[in-house]
A = this chain, B = another copy of it.
């Protein structure tokens, strides 16, 4: 019983912050708005998170785990390693057509927080490595030589598709990414 009953104040804060950060950008959302949306008193917020930076980090870690779970969905969509790799790109099209799609939240935060601070970069980097590891493991299982290099190429397609889908809109980027992946994976 890890999560029962009504969500606690800190969970509601994380939920509200994650939504607002994603749709409007981390620096563009103030504490006041977060606590109002979460229905939580100001002091309760500072009781759970010493500062806004701590909340940001908690949200980013949550997002990272969330993205990893998203990636793992591909396993259930195909049985062969090659099928699982291509299934990742199928997942993209569903993601891109979500009404509030605004790119990968970890990458977005990396841009938004900008500067030399790098607050979000470690989380985005960890996610990128997880994606490459996912591809590499399945390429190796399929007996593809030089699996690491090809995994990096597939990763470029995935990341490229997420940003092009954001800028261009619509699911067109996914079709190109999947077509390229099919051409690259033997």
Within 8 A of B (CB), among A137-164: 149, 152-153, 155-161, 163-164
Interchain CB contact under 8 A, A114 and B114: no
Question: What residue of chain B has the Cβ atom nearest to residue A22's Cβ?
Answer: B114
**With known contacts A159-B159, A160-B158, A23–B115 Cβ distance under 8 A:** yes
Binds B, one of A35-43, A47-55, A76-84, A103-111: A103-111
Size range of the interface on A?
35 or more
Binds B, one of A6-14, A58-66, A165-173: A165-173
- Shortest CB-to-CB span from A69 to chain B, Å, is 20
A27 to B27, CA, bound (A): 8
A161 to B149, CA, bound (A): 14
Is residue A183 within 8 Å, beta carbon to beta carbon, of the partner chain? yes
Interchain CB contact under 8 A, B25 and A113: yes
Listed by A's residue number, 17 A-B pairs whose Cβ atoms lie within 8 Å are A25-B112, A25-B114, A25-B115, A111-B111, A112-B114, A121-B167, A125-B167, A149-B176, A152-B173, A152-B176, A153-B179, A153-B180, A155-B160, A157-B157, A160-B161, A183-B184, A184-B184
